[in-house]
Amino acid sequence: MSAQNSIPEQARLVIIGAGPGGYAAAFKAAELGLEVTLVDPEANPGGVCLHRGCIPSKALLHVAKLVEEAGEAADIGVTFAAPTIDVDRVRAWKDEVIGKLTGGLGTKVTQENLTYVRGMARFKDAKTLEVTGIDGATGDMAFEQAIVATGSRPMMLPGVESGDRIIDSTGALALADVPDSLLVVGGGYIGLELGSAYAALGSKVSVVEMTQGLLPGCDRDLVSVLKRRLDHKFEAIMLSTKVAGLKEQKKTVKVTLEDKKGQTSELRFDRVLVSIGRRPNTGNLGLENTPVELDDHGFVKVDGQRRTAAPHIFAIGDIAGEPMLAHKAYAEAHVAAEAAAGRPAVYDPRAIPAVVFTDPEIAWCGLTETEARAQKIKVKTAKLPWRGVGRTLTLGREDGITKLIVDPESERILGVAVAGPGAGELIAEGVLAMEMAAVAEDLRKTIHPHPTLSETLYETAEMLFKG
């Protein structure tokens, strides 16, 4: 059918939110023959991921990679002039990338069995939505089944409002300009990715993180590979330090920092990017008018098919819990769509990869060493530093590590982690190995192409069988 602004009175399956969860569920359900109505305020589907998340951040990180590699090429005898950055063109290119992807999805929602409604939906009760179109007109929509995929939004520091100088990830990705100095509040993956992009574009970037290390939750040996490089890229990385105050002034932001001893200091930055986490979009959804339940963190409680406490209402993606990642939303979307179509389906992944797209990248799946320690799980670990590996030398990048975590009895692979350029691509092999219940021997016996970084996975498996 088509994209439309009028609000249908009936829906067989309504999907609220057209991010990676919502649009993937819509396409799958339509393919399975269900009549689908997809509701989202944006002109085209895409959600946070395509409009203001995964895709624009990776586009900017690609620009960063070009700038940095050109700068480092002098070490191997190729010298480029210092880059001239045309911010308007960079922004336009990033927007073109977004436009191509979301435009493609916009065309796809005109397929048979699909109706795309631009608007915001709210539950009046467990069988009726009130939809407010972007023109302000409202209408009730009775539905048989619903999939809630309203995603998440950035958290702000208490009492602080975003503005011209205090921005969140959405503001940073808009790339209004390249500030001389930027403070990133929060050393998680979003802050480090965006901080890296701005540093390459020319900002003096500092990071402040409340806990003792960057990327809380990630194994420290992986983080230290990244930190060594970020220490050169960033002006300062202030750990165990809190932001006690932020005040937007005419030309700068006055930041009060408090270290672990309680001592305060004041610094000024042109811009402050607050990236301290994300919170699920459950407010203003009228969920209280339905039996749907939330957990203590504000996520919708779901079962293995992503059904909520009201079995005809499903929830997927960021709103349905950690990890808040697009590929987790896609996987849940397919399960929920199949379950809505009456097919047997369950969400039960062995491993969900996590990738930090910094330089070097960090990627892992399955059990981490940190989790094994905390949960007192006995594991055998092999770690291969990338120094001296053929492919890493030919790339001029020996700053990496590949790690395998296996069960000491069965040698079944429990976790895989990689820090180094290309880690995000390499981890897919680890995910497949885990889904196939591979043992270390399988990885060791698999012939890997030479010379590639993937050989580090096989070589790490090999280490488990030595002495």
* Region near ligand FAD per CB under 6 A, out of 76-84, 146-154, 344-352, 436-444: 146-154
Q: Alpha helices of 341-400 — where are they, by DSSP H?
A: 369-374, 390-394
416 versus 439: smaller Cβ distance to ligand FAD: 416
Residue 329 lies near ligand FAD (rule: CB under 6 A): yes
317 versus 420: smaller Cβ distance to ligand FAD: 317
Residue 106 lies near ligand FAD (rule: CB under 6 A): no
214 versus 324: smaller Cβ distance to ligand FAD: 324
Residue 40 lies near ligand FAD (rule: CB under 6 A): yes
All residues at 6 or more sequence positions from 228 whose CB lies less than 8 Å from its CB, including other chains? 399
Residue 44 lies near ligand FAD (rule: CB under 6 A): no
Choose which of 8, 20, 366, 415 interacts with ligand FAD (CB under 6 A).
Answer: 20
Nearest to 43 by CA among 12, 66, 18: 18
Query: Rule CB under 6 A: which of 118-137 touch ligand FAD?
Result: 120-121
Shortest Å, Cβ 218 to ligand FAD: 15
Check if the beta carbon of residue 401 is closer than 8 Å to that of residue 418: yes
Check if the beta carbon of residue 88 is closer than 8 Å to that of residue 94: no
CA 412/CA 296 separation, integer angstroms? 34
Residue 54 lies near ligand FAD (rule: CB under 6 A): yes
| 294 burial type by CB count under 10 A (0-12 exposed, 13-18 middle, 19+ buried) | middle
CB atoms within 10 A of CB 168: 20
x/- string (CB under 6 A) for ligand FAD, residues 337-366?
--------------------x---------
Residue 274 lies near ligand FAD (rule: CB under 6 A): no
x/- string (CB under 6 A) for ligand FAD, residues 180-209?
----------x-------------------
Residue 41 lies near ligand FAD (rule: CB under 6 A): yes
Residue 49 lies near ligand FAD (rule: CB under 6 A): yes
CA 281/CA 152 separation, integer angstroms? 5
All residues at 6 or more sequence positions from 394 whose CB lies less than 8 Å from its CB, including other chains? 451
Task: Output the residue with the shortest Cβ distance to ligand FAD.
Answer: 151
**Which amino acid does the sequence have at 401?**
I
Nearest to 41 by CA among 276, 308, 317, 284: 284
The angle that helices 189-201 and 54-72 make with each other, rounded to 10 degrees, is: 50
Can the peptide bond before residue 344 be classed as cis, meaning omega within 30 degrees of 0? no
Backbone angles phi, psi at 280, to 5 degrees: -65, 145
Looking at 51, 312, 327, 450, which residue is catalytic?
A: 450
Residue 53 lies near ligand FAD (rule: CB under 6 A): yes
The answer to whether 450 is a known catalytic residue is yes
Residue 11 lies near ligand FAD (rule: CB under 6 A): no
Choose which of 8, 47, 195, 421 interacts with ligand FAD (CB under 6 A).
Answer: 47
Shortest Å, Cβ 47 to ligand FAD: 3
Q: Alpha helices of 349-452 — where are they, by DSSP H?
A: 369-374, 390-394, 423-435, 440-445
Choose which of 14, 201, 272, 326 interacts with ligand FAD (CB under 6 A).
Answer: 326
365 versus 439: smaller Cβ distance to ligand FAD: 365
Total site size for ligand FAD, rule CB under 6 A: 35
CA 324/CA 54 separation, integer angstroms? 12
Active site residues: 450
Q: Which residues bind ligand FAD (CB under 6 A)?
A: 16-22, 39-42, 47-49, 53-54, 57, 120-121, 149-152, 169, 190, 281, 285, 317-318, 324-327, 329, 357
